[in-house]
């Protein structure tokens, strides 16, 4: 079985940097999504909107985690090329509880 040629360290570094930037964007989008509160008036519709926003934010956080795992796995896959320091978990977005209705609303 032929041995694969070594990966270009510059290409690996560029990939890691792009993954880290994507994580930053995803974390920002998740936070922004939860910061916006839309009052639609109807209780059932309001609940549906809030649940949709919470599920979308959860999906963005899961994507953030997956991107972080990819960045952390790069050294093993690339033969030891270090991942950027920014591979640490991105800032956490607010918890979905931010959209829960207050009593009397």
Domain that holds residue 44: 9-79
pLDDT in tens, 67-80: 999 998 888 877 76
Residue 23: inside a domain: yes
Burial classification of residue 74, based on how many CB atoms lie within 10 Å of its CB (0-12 exposed, 13-18 middle, 19 or more buried): buried
Residue 40: inside a domain: yes
Residue 22 pLDDT > 90: yes
- Report the pLDDT value the prediction gives residue 3, as an integer from 0 to 100: 63
Residue 48: inside a domain: yes
Number of domains in the chain: 1
**Residue with tokens 């609303």, as numbered in its chain:** 105
pLDDT in tens, 23-71: 999 999 988 888 877 788 888 998 998 899 899 999 999 999 999 999 9
Distance CA 13, CA 74 (A): 9
Residue 90 pLDDT > 70: no
Mean pLDDT is lowest, of 15-19, 48-52, 100-104, for 100-104
Residue 42: inside a domain: yes
């Amino acid at each position: 079985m032929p041995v694969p040629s070594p990966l270009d360290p510059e290409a690996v570094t560029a990939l890691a940097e792009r993954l880290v930037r994507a994580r930053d964007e995803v974390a920002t989008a998740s936070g922004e999504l939860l910061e916006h509160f839309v009052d639609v008036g109807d209780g059932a519709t309001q609940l549906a909107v809030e649940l949709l926003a919470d599920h979308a934010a959860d999906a963005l956080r899961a994507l953030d985690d997956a991107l972080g795992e990819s960045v952390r796995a790069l050294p093993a896959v690339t033969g030891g090329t270090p991942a950027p320091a920014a591979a640490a978990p991105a800032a956490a977005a607010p918890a979905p509880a931010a959209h829960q209705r207050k009593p009397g609303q």
